[in-house]
Amino acid sequence: MKILVLNGPNINMLGIREPELYGTETYATMVEKIRTYCEGKKIECDFFQSNHEGALVDKIQEAYGVFDAIVMNPAAYTHTSVALLDALKAVSIPCVEVHISDVPSREAFRQVSYVRAACFKTITGLGTDGYLRAVDAIEELLGKKK
């Protein structure tokens, strides 16, 4: 099984940005944590982070026929991007939406998620462990055989 872990704008600033919301772990540390977790499950994973919407759309399109599932934290694009929703729908790759912070308890403008309609699960408020729970959800959905 091959999983693509996609992260949107400012996730590269983890550890620096608003630690009271996003914790003190850096993006690099988080990537290693997810990689180690996937290795333990014999799951291949690849990572991509961009601050640019079009680059994320390109990556989703390129995932077609290559990846079995996507774990995605679209960050601020969650609340604005029809393009990311359409890209996920276009490739029909099972996707889990992850948010590090507890989005439901935050501002009203964060309560809309465009990508959610193309995701089979949403995980929020578990910190970076949310990505690991997303891997579990994918394993459960697709089975361990792939």
Among residues 37, 52, 79, 99, the one annotated as catalytic is 99
Which residue's CB is nearer to ligand DQA, number 57 or number 75? 75
Work out whether 110 is an interface residue with ligand DQA (CB under 6 A). yes
Q: Which of 49, 50, 78, 113 binds ligand DQA (CB under 6 A)?
A: 78
- Among residues 39, 30, 44, 136, the alpha carbon closest in space to that of 73 is found at 30
One of 34, 87, 100, 118 touching ligand DQA (CB under 6 A): 100
Catalytic-role residue among 22, 27, 77, 114: 22
Per-residue tokens: 132: 């690991």
* Rounded Cα gap, residues 58 and 54, in angstroms: 6
Given the complex with ligand DQA, which of 50 and 101 has the nearer CB atom? 101
73 binding ligand DQA? (CB under 6 A): yes
Rounded to whole angstroms, how far apart are CA atoms 83 and 144? 31
Per CB under 6 A, does 121 bind ligand DQA? no
Q: Are 44 and 16 in contact (CB under 8 A)?
A: no
Alpha-carbon span 20 to 6, nearest angstrom: 23
Q: Which residues contact 57 (CB under 8 A, 6 or more apart)?
A: 83, 84, 87
- Of 2 and 110, the one with the shorter C-beta distance to ligand DQA is 110
Q: Does the active-site annotation cover 22? A: yes
Catalytic sites, residue numbers: 22, 99
User: Which stretches of the chain bind ligand DQA, using CB under 6 A?
Assistant: 10, 73, 75-76, 78, 99-101, 103, 110
